[in-house]
Amino acid sequence: MKSTSLLLLFAFMISFYSDTEIKQFQFFPKNVQEECTQIISGKIINKKTNSPISNALITLYLDGQDIKIEKTNSQGEYSLKLNCDTNYRIEVSASNFFKADFLIKTSSQNNTNLTHNFFLEYECYQTITGKVINELTKDIVHNATLTLYLDGEKIETQKVNDSGEYNFKIRCNTNYYIIADKTDYINDLYEFTSSTTDNENINHDFILEPECIQTISGTIRNKVTKEPLSAEIKLYLNNIEAETIKVNNDGSYFIKFQCTTNYRIIATKPNYIDDSYNFLTDYIEYKQPDYFHLKKDLFLEPNLCYQVVLGKVFDKKTNEVVTDALVSLLHQNNEITTFQTSYDGSYFFKIKCALDYELKVTKEGMLSKIINYKASAIKGDNKTQNIYIESEACNQIVNGSILDKETKLPLANTQVTLFENDNEVNKITTDNNGAFSFNIKCENTYKIVADNNEYNSNTITFETDKKRDISISKTLELTKLDCNQIVNGSILDKETKLPLANTQVTLFENNNEVNKITTDNNGAFSFNIKCENTYKIVADNNEYNSNTITFETDKKRDISISKTL
């Protein structure tokens, strides 16, 4: 028998008996998915000599756990197999060298080869030592804290020993800084770069100045009325502006400052004359920080300051000046004064400095306009502020009726279309009243077209004037369409039923002859006739007796009637 190979794409069942039960197990083939991996390789190199480092340890970390360790070969080479789309850290170490590490996130692409070389530096350490000293007493400062930073990152913190000394082990040829701090002292900072010499000792003492906080407080007042004022206080340290402080409406201020320093405070407010105070703080040990509190009120004298704001009012569309416009000056929503523009559209206001105003313009037939205007704090700083306003929309209404020209009765179901400068702008269908109404604009050309299936169209054209909010009446009368029909047929021999040629066929309308034809060999005739009329057709042939038919037409337009004589 020929053997047959079966693919592993089936399920099979094994049945067996246990006591009285039948056990069935189904086995399904496992869906095996190809593993996605990548390779990272490279060299471990002596940074100084550029030569490879053999037997260096490469440790692979995943989620903080080392998952693989291997050594470089004699050429300093390494190779690691990584899973796709995964974060790893690779750490490299070698005897007498500083460690190095590398963070990597693999991509989702299978069979990618990555390269990264590590350059290791020889281990080289130095020490930095010194003391922390009180600047005033020259005594050591106990319990001072020193923090060592490497490239801006805190790496070690220690307190001085009983002798006020500190000691840090540091790497050669590296940027560091150390901050010394202690409560009630001003921090001291030392930045340095270690040399390339191994086992070198650096000495640096930190000098801490006792922190002495003193205060000055008071109220900013109007020199004339003695009322408190909001203002700004500028704090100067050794004649250099150090801080600006906002003072609220209650006028009170409170400032902290260091001892043993020259200070000056200046109170300022727009439209007031500045007031200032100079003082030198001192230091007495064991009495800081609360022993010295200055009290000083500052008085600002009003400095009357006025400006002028002027300009013209223009029509925004035409750019022409607007006369007889009312320009109002408002402050905090209160109207101060109103000016009516003259022939040149100009206005003029005297205003106080450093205030926020509104300029409001009104004129009949034009849209009102409000603009914000902020006066500067400079005396006599006159400014021009032109204002542009727009005309109100000028609208009219056209209305009317659609009528039957003969009966003068209104026509329903008539489509009425409005055109503005030959562009269709609106369309309505009349109701039983035959009425229409459209909103239209001033100073435009319009056309109204009335269409009804049973009537001839009619059109009117008109122009609107400058008058605002008026109504125009228009009536369109429509004439009925002609109602025609066709009567056609044949003249036949009564016995043979054959067509008769040379037969004279005469059409009478209300007993009035209106048409006459002679048949051809087909014996056919055809006449145009009107709706709702009485007709008579007479057939005459020299060889036959005459024959006549009479009939009436109905209201149906454009139909054909067949008659045989």
| Residue 228 DSSP code | B
Q: Could you tell me the mean pLDDT of each successive run of 10 residues in the chain, 565 residues long? A: 34 35 41 80 94 95 94 95 95 91 94 94 92 87 94 91 94 93 89 92 91 82 92 87 91 80 86 85 51 82 88 93 94 93 92 92 91 90 94 90 93 95 93 94 93 92 90 92 90 92 94 93 93 92 93 88 86
390 and 325 Cβ atoms separated by less than 8 Å: no
Model pLDDT, residue 260: 60
The pTM of the full predicted model, rounded to 2 decimals, is 0.36
Model pLDDT, residue 292: 62
Model pLDDT, residue 12: 32
* Rounded Cα–Cα distance for residues 420 and 425 (Å): 6
Q: How many CB atoms lie within 10 A of CB 271?
A: 17
Q: Got the DSSP string for 410-433?
A: B-SS-EEEEEETTEEEEEEE--TT
* Rounded Cα–Cα distance for residues 461 and 33 (Å): 82
Model pLDDT, residue 20: 37
Q: Give the strands of the sheet with 395-404, arranged side by side.
A: 435-441, 395-404, 471-478
Closest CA to 333 of 304, 379, 370, 296: 370
The CA distances from residue 85 to 38, 189, 210, 516, in Å, are 10, 44, 56, 102
308 and 349 Cβ atoms separated by less than 8 Å: yes
Long-range (24+ apart) CB contacts under 8 A made by 409-416 are 409/434, 410/434, 410/435, 411/452, 411/455, 411/478, 413/452, 413/453, 414/450, 414/451, 414/452, 414/455, 414/478, 415/450, 415/451, 415/452, 416/448, 416/449, 416/450, 416/451, 416/476
Closest CA to 359 of 387, 401, 397, 317: 387
Q: List Cβ neighbours of 286 (8 Å cut-off, separation of 6 or more).
A: none
Model pLDDT, residue 454: 86
Give me the numbers of helices (H) and strands (E) for the chain, helices first please: 0, 50
Model pLDDT, residue 259: 66
Tokens representing 247 are: 């003072």
Q: How many CB atoms lie within 10 A of CB 494?
A: 10
Domains (range + CATH), the chain: 37-120 (2.60.40.10), 125-210 (2.60.40.10), 213-302 (2.60.40.1120), 306-389 (2.60.40.10), 395-478 (2.60.40.10), 484-564 (2.60.40.10)
Tokens representing 415 are: 């489509």
Model pLDDT, residue 247: 94
